[in-house]
Amino acid sequence: MGIDPGTSYARVEVWNNNKLELIPIDQANNNVPFYVAFAGSRRLVGEAAKRQAVNNVTNTVFDFKCIIGRRFDGDVRSDMIFWPFKAVGDKTSPPCIEVAYNDETRQFAPKDISDMFLSKLRKATENFLEVSVSGVVISIPSYFNDLQRQTTKDAGAIAGLNDGIVEVKGMANDTQLGGQDFDNLLVATFISKSCISILVYEGDRSNVARNNLLCNVEISGISSASRAVPQMDVVFDTEANGILNVYAVKKYPGHNNNLVASVAKGRLSKEEINRVAKKDAADYPSEENRTEECFFFRGGLINKTLSLFLFLACPTM
């Protein structure tokens, strides 16, 4: 029995009848999600655990391969922002995962969670082959340290597997570079933007390109926050002499900076605005309607796509 544990999924293979066979673990699925969940008195592993994660976020554990055999250090703490479950510990000991199980609060070491996962793979393999399995080869990254290697072996032993370890080459010695990590980076990119540009136009066309660009106000130094969380107020003020002032006020603790952009040049006169408005209304009525419909459907598609992505990548968001 060979187990290839990726960051987010695992696969099980056996050499049978002079050929390599992939073992279907969950509902004929060869790829098993690295999930273990605790629901009341039940313990779920793999696909079943992942499917119920959105309704049981604090008791659904994933990503535990990345923390097995590691101390409760800075890297582990930085990963915690992506975990809905609770990890506890100190700098001198491995972290423990705290969940509610059998009507009480329980703490499990990562190797105990791995044991539950490996036991599931072993039982599924035995059911598929209709024989008892005790020997296993577990592939691990070459950059695993001695403690991570030994902890992986311990988890296999607890699961009743007498295992050896085969090292695989790593391109970059980074324990935080895998499928789930790419998801986390994408989530952070979508929610952690620190600089924005405010383009100020004048005109009444629904197609922005047909309006007159007055200025580009850039705001920097914005703290990371979830999408749609207000960070600032933008105020437009026109003076009697026709000068437009744009105020951007940062609205988070410790900051109260005002950025003012005065726009006197490049503005259209009142006569020019009226002339352009009348001409465009006559020349582009159908285009205006098409543009509004396009913006409406595009905005809906973006919102639904982003919501689905965030749900799949980080169920708590």
Identical fold at 2-175 and 192-283? no
Find the helix or strand (DSSP H, E) in which 248 lies: strand 244-250
Return the pLDDT at 213. 79
Find the helix or strand (DSSP H, E) in which 156 lies: helix 146-158
Digit-coded pLDDT (tens) for 22-77: 888 876 678 898 899 999 999 999 999 999 998 999 999 987 877 888 888 767 77
Domain extents in the chain = 2-175, 192-283
Helix 270-283 vs helix 285-313: crossing angle, to nearest 10:
90
Does the domain spanning 192-283 belong to CATH 2.60.34.10?
yes
Return the pLDDT at 200. 79
Q: Which two tokens stand for residue 208?
A: 């922005």
Q: Which residue has the tokens 């005790």?
A: 134
CB atoms within 10 A of CB 141: 19
Q: Which residue has the tokens 């010695």?
A: 173
Return the pLDDT at 256. 46
Find the helix or strand (DSSP H, E) in which 277 lies: helix 270-283
pTM above 0.75, yes or no: no
**DSSP result, 88-124:** E--TTS--EEEEEETTEEEEE-HHHHHHHHHHHHHHH
CB atoms within 10 A of CB 27: 8
Decide which of 3.30.420.40, 1.10.10.60, 3.90.1200.10, 3.30.70.120 is the CATH code for 2-175.
3.30.420.40
Kind of pairing between the strands at 232-238 and 244-250:
antiparallel
Rounded to an integer, what distance in angstroms lies between the CA atom of residue 152 and that of residue 162?
12
Return the pLDDT at 107. 94
CB atoms within 10 A of CB 124: 19
Name the stretches of the chain with pLDDT < 50: 171, 255-256, 264-265
Rounded to an integer, what distance in angstroms lies between the CA atom of residue 32 and that of residue 28?
10
Rounded to an integer, what distance in angstroms lies between the CA atom of residue 250 and that of residue 221?
9
Rounded to an integer, what distance in angstroms lies between the CA atom of residue 91 and that of residue 285?
66
Q: Write the single-letter amino acid at 145.
A: N
Return the pLDDT at 19. 85
Return the pLDDT at 97. 92
Nearest to 144 by CA among 175, 178, 113: 175
Q: Three-state SS string across 7-34, please?
A: CCEEEEEEEECCEEEECCCECCECCEEC
